[in-house]
Amino acid sequence: AQSVTQPDIHITVSEGASLELRCNYSYGATPYLFWYVQSPGQGLQLLLKYFSGDTLVQGIKGFEAEFKRSQSSFNLRKPSVHWSDAAEYFCAVGFTSGTYKYIFGTGTRLKVLA
C-alpha cells in the first residue's frame, strides 16, 4: 500500500546549525512530493514541491529538498536554521491509484535552541 513515513518525531538543532528532515514514501512510480510547515496555531503552508525534472528543488524560507528515486526519499534541508523555523513539518505525497490520493506524513516537530 502507498504510504509516507517521517522517521523522526522530534528534532532539536541549535540556531545556525544545518537541518535535514527525512521523508520516505512507498509507491510504485514517482509521486508528486511536497513539504509543508505548520507554525503553532496556524494552518499548513506549502514550502516546496517536486513533480519532475531537477531533483533538487528550492522552496520558500531558504529550504530545499532533494528527490532520490533510488532511496524513495524526499528529504528537506536548510543550511542554517533560524529560531523562527521552530514548527511542525509535514511531508506529503500525491499519486494516482484509481483516483487521486494525497497522503500526509505524521510530521516532525523541530525545536531550535538559541
Contacts (CB under 8 A) with another protein, residues 68-107: 88, 90, 94, 96, 99-100, 102, 104, 106-107
Measured between alpha carbons, how far is 73 from 71 in angstroms, rounded to an integer?
A: 5
Q: Closer to another protein by CB, 28 or 100: give it.
A: 100
Measured between alpha carbons, how far is 65 from 35 in angstroms, rounded to an integer?
A: 8
Q: Which residues pair with 14 in a beta bridge?
A: 113
**Which residue in the set 8, 19, 49, 72 belongs to the binding site for another protein (CB under 8 A)?**
49
Q: Considering all CA atoms of the chain, what is the largest pairwise distance in Å, rounded to the nearest integer?
A: 48
What is the x/- site pattern for another protein, positions 12-31, by CB under 8 A?
Answer: --------------------
